[in-house]
Amino acid sequence: MSTILDRIKAYKLEEVARAKAATPLSALEAAARGAASPRGFARALRDAAHTGYGLIAEIKKASPSKGLIRADFDPPALARAYEAGGATCLSVLTDAPSFQGADEYLVAAHDAVALPCLRKDFLYDPWQVVQSRALNADCILLIMASLEDGQAAELEAAALDWGMDVLIEVHDQAELDRAALLKSPLIGINNRNLHTFEVTLDTTRRLARRVPEDRMIVAESGLYTADDLADLAQYGARCFLIGESLMRQADVAAATREILSKPLTAQGGL
Ligand SMILES: O=P(O)(O)OC[C@@H](O)[C@@H](O)c1c[nH]c2ccccc12
């Protein structure tokens, strides 16, 4: 079965081959060495989770499952609204064909705020890891559904070498077992199945208890209300990655504040 993830991988590999021909690794490494110092992404989440929730707020114009999400799309203004609303970190889509993202959106959002920034894209080649750092990314995403074990380990090692954090995304038990073999403390549980687009918070409810104690859970996708966060917090999640529901609001700062308004602190942070 050819799914959206397979199609994305195919065009991404072509895109990267072209980009590598245009910009050799040595040039990219020079740019990465000149980038802004990495902002501690995992550390910021851990600190936030001590007293409440860690929120990764996503800047996302469109998606393959929803089409256009926000017409009035100004990445620096959105970054500032998220920061004002109490977000811990940002996630910025840079994939163009499926998400109408752009590398420039990451650079612009990073420059507008002091928050650590995740480059949200589909990475397969260490060249893209260096490219992410050159774009001032503080963290990259690795999607286990789309990577072999050796490939994920290689990409993670490159990211850690460059001082970035790594969010490892899983959707089922097998992917979680493979993620546990990697080093990163950040395990994202994606409530959206990237093959079928089906979304259910049961994914986090089922997998959260299986995440090793020394890792931090980031519940991703399909989160709409403060009650959704409080619900998943009961299963051990203290960090959340939210895009669409905040992107659809006129007042993004107020919506961010609102969704963070019910922290489950009774059981303490992590
Ligand atoms: O917009 P939502 O449902 O709040 O989801 C955000 C984020 O989890 C989602 O954009 C996402 C999760 N994993 C991804 C991998 C690639 C692209 C996008 C994603």
Asked if the model's pLDDT at residue 171 lies above 90, the reply is yes
56, β-bridge pairs: 89, 241
* CA–CA gap between residue 130 and residue 155 (Å, rounded): 10
Pocket of ligand 1, candidates 3, 11, 55, 58: which has the most ligand atoms within 8 Å of its Cβ, to mutate? 58
What pTM did the predictor assign? 0.97
Asked if the model's pLDDT at residue 1 lies above 90, the reply is no
For residue 269, being part of any structural domain is answered with no
Taking the mean position of all CA atoms in its chain, how far away is CA 91?
5
For residue 137, being part of any structural domain is answered with yes
For residue 74, being part of any structural domain is answered with yes
For residue 265, being part of any structural domain is answered with no
In order of 117, 130, 131, 134, 168, the CA distances from 30 in angstroms are: 20, 10, 10, 8, 27
Question: What is the CATH number for 108?
Answer: 3.20.20.70
Mean pLDDT score of the chain = 96
What's the whole-number mean pLDDT along residues 197-202? 96
The pLDDT of residue 249 is 98
Residue 81, C-beta contacts closer than 8 angstroms, at least 6 positions apart: 251, 252, 253, 256
For residue 268, being part of any structural domain is answered with no
The pLDDT of residue 9 is 97
Q: Which atom of ligand 1 is nearest to the CA of 245?
A: 4
Residue 236, C-beta contacts closer than 8 angstroms, at least 6 positions apart: 208, 209, 211, 217
For residue 239, being part of any structural domain is answered with yes
Q: Range of 178's domain?
A: 4-259
Query: Considering 83, 132, 156, 169, which one is annotated as catalytic?
Result: 169
Amino acid at 113: V
Q: What is the ipTM of this complex?
A: 0.98
Q: Long-range pairs for 2-6 at CB < 8 Å and ≥24 separation?
A: 3/194, 3/195, 3/196, 4/64, 4/98, 4/194, 4/195, 4/197, 5/143, 5/145, 5/146, 5/194, 5/195
Asked whether 133 and 35 are in contact (CB, 8 A), the reply is: yes
Domain count, the chain: 1
Give 28's pLDDT tier (boundaries 50, 70, 90): very high
199 C-alpha to ligand 1 centroid (Å)? 11
140, β-bridge pairs: 119, 166
